[in-house]
Amino acid sequence: MADHKNHAGHAEEHFREKHLMLDPLPRGQMNDMVMESMHTTSWKFWVVFAILSAIVGYGLFYSWGTMIAEGLGIAGVNRPSYWGIFLVNTVFWIGISHAGTFISAILRVFKAEFRRPFTRAAELMTTFGLVQAGFSVFMHMGRVWLAYWLMPYANQRMLWPNLHSPLTWDLLAITTYLLSSTMYLFLPLIPDLAMARDRSTGWRKTFYKTLALGFRGTEGEWAHLRNAMNIFAFAIIPVMFSVHTIVSWDFAAATRPGWNSSIFGPYFVVGALHSGMGAVIMVLAVVRATMKHMKYFIRPEHFDAIAKLMLIISMAWAYFFFNDYMVQWYGGDKWTHQLLHFHEAGPLGWMWFAMLIFNIAIPWAVLWNQKWRSTPWIVFIVGFFINIGMWFERYIIVPISLSINRMPFTWRMYEPGVEIPLGIGTLAFFILLYMGASKLIPLIPVWEVEEGQMAHELKKFGRETVVSVSELE
Amino acid sequence: MTDKFSRRDFLKLAGVGTATTAILTGCGPASRYVKREPYMLMPEYTYNGQSTYYATTCRECAAGCGLVVRTSQGRAIKTEGNANHPLNLGKTCARGQATLHGLYNPDRVTDPLQRKRGNVSAAKMDWDAAIQTVADAFKQYKPNEAAFLMGTSSDHLFDLVTDLCSRTGLNLPVRFGALSMFESRATLAKAAENLFGEAGLPFFDVGGAQVVFSFGANFLETWLSPVSYTRGFAGLREGQTKKRGSFIQFESRMSSTAGKADEWIPLQPGSEALVALAIGRLALEMRGGPLPRAFADIDPRTAAARSGIELETLERYAEMFVNSTGVLAIPGGAALGQTNGLAVAEAVLTLNAVADNFGKQGGVFFSPTAPGQEKYQRSASVKEMQDLVQKMTDGEIKVLFVHGVNPLFELPASLEFKKALDGVEQVISFSTFPDETALESDFVFPDHHGLESWGYQRVSTGSNQSALSGSQPVVSPFYNTRSTADVLIAAAQLAGGDFAKALPFKDEVEFLQEKVAPLLNEVDGYFSAPDINTFMASFQQYGGWWKNSDSRVIPNTADVFNRNLKAAEAEFAGEGEFFFMPFVSPTLAEAGANKPWLQELPDPTTTVMWNTWVEINPETAHELGLEDDDVVKIISEAGELEVPVYRYPAIRPDTIAIPFGQGHTAYGRYAEQRGVNPADLLGRHFNEAGDLAFAGMKVRIEKTGKKQPLSRLESIMGVYGVGLGEEH
Amino acid sequence: MIRPEEIKMSADESGKWGMVIDQDICTGCQACVAACAMENNISFVGEKDSGYGRSMHWIRIERFWEGEYPEVKMTPNQPMLCQQCGSATCEPVCPAFATVHSQAEQLNLQVYNRCVGTRYCANNCPYQVRSFNWRDYERPEPLSNQLNPDVTVRRRGVMEKCTFCIQRIHKAQDKAKSEGREVLDGEFTTACAQACPANAITFGRVDDPESLVSQLAKKRGHGIKHLEELGTLPNVTYFKGG
Amino acid sequence: MIKRLIDWLKQPLGLIAVGIALLAVFSFAAYGISLTQQPPEQPVQFPHQTHVAFGIQCLYCHPGAAKGPAAGIPSQAKCWACHNQIAKTETSLLLAPLKQAVLSGQPLEWVPVAQVPDFVQFNHRAHVAAGQNCENCHGDMSKVTIAENPQVFNMGFCLDCHKQVAGDDHEKLVKLVDCGTCHY
């Protein structure tokens, strides 16, 4: 190491501060940094924590309780918009949850090196997002206390869930996804838990001890872990795609103008990634800004890399949107025409245009520029807009499209009621879970970073200094 | 340490245990156990869980449709039409269906009450005291100081009171109902009298006709006998024996009747008489031959000009009279409710003479008078009501008995019935419901609901057969109410003297038997019986008694043509720029507002529920800068009210319309403080027959800036394209 | 476990019970709506909810406008109720088998006690004739005395719709069976058809060529079945007339 | 504290305490369940077996069963018709409520024990006509005093029988397992 430093030229210095992988620290130090980031908690944290808990208490649990007692009447759903923001949020949260898997699994499979410091942050999003999705979909039910009827179980009624119904597929898909993604979150976590275990005392030690499953870091354990992770990384990708495709089938399989579209599957998947990416980059920006030592682990290069992905996905989404719109319009069904017209010119036409601006115009206008791409606060704002835009997209697909059907006598607008506190409640709960996690488990997969740093080095070819990565797996 | 801990521990767990218990108890059958009260003496014909059906008569309006009520375990659970009944042949209207919401209305008067006028709170009395009160009222006032004000349904009670009054010298009872006011029955009867020499309610054979010209008659809604006229309309359209008949309606606002017409002619209000005569004259001219006096002094051109209908159109209609058979012209509704109402009625009836359809299929008849009735008795016109009000105000009436009518709500406010009541020492209401008038009475002695009562109703129109529709209790009274007939009989006995002699009956049923007894020897009846008891049994079983044969009377049309018909135009009171057209809400009518399901029925034309609206032509609204749901103030010479706007595409730009039926200040939780009552705008203007010229007003509109969303069943987006985007 | 051929979701063969509605003579008087509400214990929802598309009518009468004043016309009143589709779009989407096709009666059943309230069926019903119990709508005493004992009283969170008065069907069949005969045509009818003063609604067996419904359909010719293009095989035929 | 507690629980006495506690929970729960299964309070301790022993047919007192949906509870007039000829009626304590009810004209308020939820439309007639005997569902009344339901009437109970009865007759099966047969 030492002499390596001496020969370091100017370009080399440049490389090092730019690339985490080329700017290694002693592993002990890095571990300590991560541990410290978990332990140091400012009073601000607790203030926010308290506020969010209050919001969750009222927005989620109290409001939901009232709704169960009073009936869905206190929500805004009506004829013909039998589905409202509940389903919008469900789709939205499932969408959020996608980026997690996408980033960690796909990038891991394709060995994208920049992924290393934030795979964990992304995977956490998957799990927590799915929790919110679950909440939203159960809120939506008229008699949620009978939700267990949707699960296949032997009963004296000799009745089973209806496997013809997209909702049943949906339920199964989401459950599968929740379980697998949780597993997938847990596996790479083990070494870090072990690390934390060795560096903590008191209840935390017990906590990590239980979770670490006695991982000691022997070669054999690593071998098994790697295998498991690889298997899951490959296995979870199709699951991820299937989940959102099936979610889209809830709509595409229905005989409704505007819904019955064969492109919905991929359209939804890309849409999910779109909002998911936005969410990831927001989380990273926040983590970097608020938590100790994170400026070392999460660097502009990472924002730059994710932002590139965002740009690509934004283009993909634009393509699918155009494709769907084009075909729907060209189909020439009068009800579909009515609906498309309603989207743009109806009372909520502004939302349709806002969607296009937020999802396409803004990303395209900003993300082409590397300097902006690598500025956290800028990409944060872009990510924020994208998420709003994608939420609008789902809002347009669910309640607004439901307002128009084949029976003009029943057309009616949808005005949200208790959905709003409930929606905010889920959002608050998501953040709350994240905050909790940031204090309990290492947000940075230290071992993965170290691995990367070991693998990277700078080589000199004549004048040129180039990065070389050596295969580990 | 040890025991201390374990005790706490134990208690905690015990708590969990009890919680479990609580939950489990909710799941077991115990949670579902209910007490069941079996019959103490089960009637022979009933079995548990099986329904019993009773025939009776609907009391929601005066038409007298036969009902068959399904009862189960002593509860009435469904009203169905009586298939044998000649008037409705097993059919009912919405109000007939919802009559159960009257029977089981949560706001009924449960006991006899004494109250300080206007106080909602009232002291309960027992029936003996109540009867005593009535008896005293009989005795302590001079005969001409007592007056009975009665509704248009429950004829048996009217007969009883008439007997009582005629035999004791009390003022003869006055009958009134908002429906008869809006139907202008007096005008119809008077016109018939002038033309055919005898007063009676004409019967229009819509079913048999080929072409129907209706001058404002809303016979598919509330007019005379909607159920039977609807059947007639179906006959006109279906045309089993003939081709589909056509139907033309002259009306300044498209009522739901006009909505079914092939042609709706929004003619200038008040010009109906001219149009009718013009068509008649043109037709006669086409036929050639001498022009009868009736049509001598009408100039079709001026008629066309005044009515705003092209002369060509009039000629086209005239051709129909000439070329096709079975042409029928019906006068009614707002057309009669104008200052020239009588002229309109006569003109239109005479128009039938041109078609020469009197007594023919698809023509004009006299409705058969009900069994045991010599001539048609009509209810009071508003003018006659005015006389009563005058007497009350002058204090000539000391005690007023009110039954089956709610004058405070149904009469135009300008008659100032409220003020008149103040001139009356004692007001005794027999109302079943806590309506406005009951609230302004000293005593309320609640009568049974129609489904709990005995009685009969004369079918005055709508049926080919002369029919007497019978009522019987289908359920035992739900509250501590008592049949007014019984109350009067008991009171008369108590009062003694003439009164006792006037009503020498044990009870209502005995009175009924005496009344229907004459039918025993009637021939050609739906059933006949050797003795009164058997007869009464069948009378109850079949829901009345009626002739088997067509007993419609063919009017004497000898000198119909040879009368001078003045081609009068209506005058309109008030200086406003809009013709004001009140109409009866087809679903609520005069007394439906307290029945929740009637409130929730969408209006046939606007689909508005639970409220009142004013119909304004979209063009006019645009000029006035009015949107839907904008609250406007309607000002007439008589009064003003605030009501939200419904932009109605099928109304003259110079006309506005408001439905009658809402706007109660009392009358139970579903009716109170809901909508407005257009009767508040009506001034004291009458036509020659003494009927109120309710469509003879002009009003002003003022914006209020307020908004009140109307509950519509229809989608304002889907039906009117509002809010779908500019291109629509 | 009940085998698929026992609970089937759609029938391809033509229906059993059907209705013919003559829009030409329907006067929109709402008698059918009231009768339906009285027969089937339908709750009233009050002004606010009814104005917000939450009214529970199982049958509604639609009317539109043609032309501008003074040539404006009201389109023929169109009573819209559950079309009891032979191949219903509401059935396959219910995750709980709460709305299934009755093989015995060829009707679209709504099994209230199995419904969990996902409302997918209502979204997927092209006729928008399903109404959902958004709340426990109050029925103040003693109004509940009027409830029909043959029909379940629904509570919040449950979907409901026109059943072709299945309770009457069962009653008639039970009576016929006890007398050892078949149900006669016109022996019973639905509440709406029974009330309709214009006789615009006729109910009966569409699979029996002799029944009045079939006869009418033949006599009047070319009736319309709404949104037939969706392949829902509706069992209600409309005659626009005029 | 928590640690001490756990350690304490680990030693024998603690284990016993835990055992007792668990026992308590279970007994409470069992008691709770038993509460839900109590037969309800009836106005008269009506001895079914006596009446059956006299050879009185079920349908004599519950004639509705053969005619329509509800079997019905006999009116007290019906009870009295026989009982006022039986001397024992005057003396018997058991019959006092009946006597009192008849004389005072107050109805006896029975609590039916065989019941189905309100969303089930059950019709006795059909079942009787199909040759089902009362005891198939209601148990042997010659053994009980107050009627008690031998089994809970749940959907499984109904379907079992329906499927057996239908056998291979597919048309019948379709009718008997059709949701609309009982739920509307």
SS3 for chain C, per residue?
A: CCCCCCCECCCCCCCCEEEEEECCCCCCCCHHHHHHHHHCCCCCCHHHHHHCCCCCCCCEEECCEECCCCCCEECCCEEECCCCCCCCCHHHHCCCCCCCECCCCCCECCCHHHCCCCCHHHHHCCCCCCEECCCCCCCCCCHHHHCCCCCCCCCCCCEECCCCCHHHHHHHHHHHHHCCCCCCCCCCCCHHHHHCCCCCEEEEECCCCCCHHHHHHHHHCCCECCCHHHCCCCCEEEECCC
C to D CB pairs, distance under 8 Å: 61
Cα C127 from Cα C227, distance rounded (Å): 8
B663 in Cβ contact with B674 (< 8 Å): yes
For residue B134, count other CB atoms closer than 10 A to its CB.
23
Residue D89's pLDDT band (boundaries 50, 70, 90)?
Answer: confident
Question: Per-residue DSSP letters for A311-338?
Answer: HHHHHHHHHHHHHHHHHHHHH--HHHHH
What residues does each domain of chain A span?
Answer: 44-437
The pLDDT of residue D180 is 92
Q: Are residues B469 and B399 located together in one domain of the fold?
A: yes
Say yes or no for a CB contact (<8 Å) between D184 and C163. yes
Strand B202-204 relative to strand B211-215: parallel, antiparallel, unpaired? unpaired
Q: What is the pLDDT of residue A32?
A: 86
Q: pLDDT tens across C120-161, in order? A: 999 999 999 999 999 999 899 899 999 999 999 999 999 999
Structural contact between residues A142 and C131, judged by C-beta atoms closer than 8 angstroms:
no
CATH number for the domain spanning C131: value is 3.30.70.20
Q: CA D120 to CA A48: how far, in whole Å?
A: 52
Q: Within chain A, which residues score under 50 in pLDDT? A: 1-6
Instruction: Report CA B157 to chain centroid distance, whole Å.
Output: 18
Chain C residues with beta carbon closer than 8 angstroms to that of B227: 197
Pairwise CB contact (< 8 Å): A158 & D154: no
Phi, psi of C3 (to 5 degrees): -80, 155
User: In this structure, what token pair is assigned to residue C148?
Assistant: 């029909």
Question: Which three-class secondary structure state does DSSP give residue B82?
Answer: coil
| DSSP code for B433 | S
**pLDDT tier at C42 (50, 70, 90 boundaries)?**
very high
Biggest CA-to-CA distance, chain C: 64
Of B234, B246, B232, which Cα lies nearest the Cα of B203? B232
Structure tokens belonging to residue C103: 């093989």
Average pLDDT, chain C: 90
* Ranges of chain B with pLDDT below 70: 1-32, 44-45, 239-241, 726-728
Contacts of A163 (CB under 8 A, 6+ apart): A169
Strand partners, B544: B469
Domain that holds residue B413: 113-175+373-546
Least CB–CB distance from B718: residue in A344, A347, A408: A408
The alpha-carbon gap from A387 to the nearest alpha carbon of chain C, in Å, equals: 26
Task: At A83, list the tokens.
Answer: 């589905």
Give the pLDDT of residue B488: 95
Would the CB atoms of B717 and A411 count as touching at under 8 Å?
Answer: yes
Does C84 score more than 90 pLDDT? yes
Q: How confident is the model at residue C13 (pLDDT cuts 50, 70, 90)?
A: low
Q: Tokens representing C116?
A: 């969990």
Residue type, B159: D
* d(C-alpha B142, C-alpha B166), whole Å: 14
The yes-or-no verdict on residue C63 having pLDDT over 80 is yes
Torsion of CA B704, B707, B709, B710, to 10 degrees: 0
How many domains in chain C?
1
Q: Which amino acid is at A175?
A: T
Mean pLDDT on C17-24 = 93
Residues 6+ apart with CB under 8 A from A280: A99, A100, A103, A118, A121, A122, A125, A306, A383
Does B650 sit within 8 Å of C34, measured CB to CB? no
CA dist list (Å): B430 to B15, B148, B488? 59, 11, 11
pLDDT at B32: 61
Answer whether 0.95 is exceeded by the pTM: no
B417 shares a domain with B287 = no
Q: Using DSSP, state whether D51 is helix, strand or coil.
A: helix
On whether residue B85 sits in a domain, the answer given is no
Pull the structure tokens for residue D48: 């079914």
Q: Which of B715, B718, B727 lies closest to A345 in CB terms?
A: B727
Other Cβ atoms closer than 10 A to A77: 30
Which of B65, B77, B654 has the most C C-beta neighbours within 10 Å, making it the best mutation to test the interface with C? B77
Range of the domain at C181: 17-239
A36 is written with which tokens? Answer: 């410290």
pLDDT for A5: 47
Token couple for B593: 């507002």
Q: Are strands C236-239 and C17-22 parallel, antiparallel or unpaired?
A: parallel
Residue D159, chain A, CB below 8 Å: the answer is yes
Residues 6+ apart with CB under 8 A from D38: B30
> How far apart are alpha carbons A183 and A101 in whole angstroms?
12
Sorted by sequence, the CB contacts under 8 Å of residue B28 that are 6+ apart come out as D33, D35, D36, D37
Taking CB atoms and an 8 Å cutoff, what residues of chain A touch B723? Answer: 346-347, 413
Residues near C120 by Cβ (< 8 Å), separated by ≥ 6? A165, A166, A167, A250, A254, C93, C94, C95
User: Which of B27, B713, B724, B728 best probes binding to A when mutated, by most A CB atoms within 10 angstroms?
Assistant: B724
Residues of chain B neighbouring A338 (CB-CB closer than 8 A): 724
Q: In a 3-state reduction of DSSP, which class is residue B52?
A: strand
Question: Chain C residue closest to D173 (CA)?
Answer: C6
The shortest C-alpha distance from D90 to chain B (Å) reads: 20
Neighbours of chain A (3+ CB pairs under 8 A): B, C, D
The strand pair at B246-250 and B211-215 is best described as: parallel
Compute, in degrees rounded to 10, the torsion defined by CA atoms C227, C229, C234, C240: 50
- Find residues 158-177 of chain D whose CB sits inside 8 Å of chain C: 170, 173-175, 177
Helix (H) or strand (E) holding B426: strand B426-429
- Contacting residues for A444 by C-beta, under 8 A, at least 6 apart: A34, A37, A117, A118, A120, A294, A297
Q: Which residues, in sequence order, are bridge partners of residue C65?
A: C74
Q: What is the largest CA-CA distance in chain A?
A: 82
Q: What is the pLDDT of residue B553?
A: 87
Structure tokens at B703: 């914006």
Is C98 part of a structural domain of the chain? yes
Give residues with Cβ within 8 angstroms of A39, minimum separation 6.
none
B·D CB contacts under 8 A? 134
How many other CB atoms sit within 10 Å of the CB of residue B524? 12
The burial class, CB within 10 Å (0-12 / 13-18 / 19+), for D40 is middle
- Average pLDDT, stretch C26-55? 95
Tell me which architecture the domain covering A44-437 has in CATH.
Up-down Bundle (1.20)
Q: What is the pLDDT of residue A40?
A: 82
A329 vs B84: CA distance, rounded Å: 58
Closest partner residue to D29 among B17, B28, B31, by Cβ? B17
State the pLDDT at residue C1: 42
The region, left, alpha or beta by phi > 0 then psi within -120 to 50, assigned to residue B524 is left
Q: Give the integer Cα–Cα distance in Å for B465 and B547.
A: 6
CA pair distance A116, A307, nearest whole angstrom? 16
Which chains have at least 3 CB atom pairs separated by less than 8 Å from chain C?
A, B, D
Residues B443 and B359 in one domain: no
pLDDT at C102 over 60: yes
Q: Using 50, 70 and 90 to split pLDDT, how confident is the model at D35?
A: confident
Taking CA atoms, B48 is separated from A38, B44, B74, C19, D45, in Å, by: 73, 11, 11, 33, 23
Cβ atoms of C101 and C109 within 8 Å: the answer is: yes
Residue B16, pLDDT score:
58
A357, A359, A364, A370 alpha-carbon torsion, rounded to 10° = 130
Give the whole-angstrom CA distance, residue C32 versus residue C164: 12
Residue environment code for A184-220, b if the CB has 16+ CB neighbours within 10 A, otherwise e: bbbbbbbbbbbbbbebbeeebeebbbebbeebeeeee
Compute the distance between CA of residue A400 and CA of residue A413 in angstroms, rounded to an integer. 7
| B652 lies in some domain | yes
Beta-carbon separation of A157 and D155 below 8 A: yes
Counting the structural domains of chain B, the total is: 4
Question: Looking at residue A2, what is its pLDDT?
Answer: 43
Establish if B241 belongs to a structural domain. yes
At how many degrees (to 10) do helices D155-166 and D170-177 cross? 170
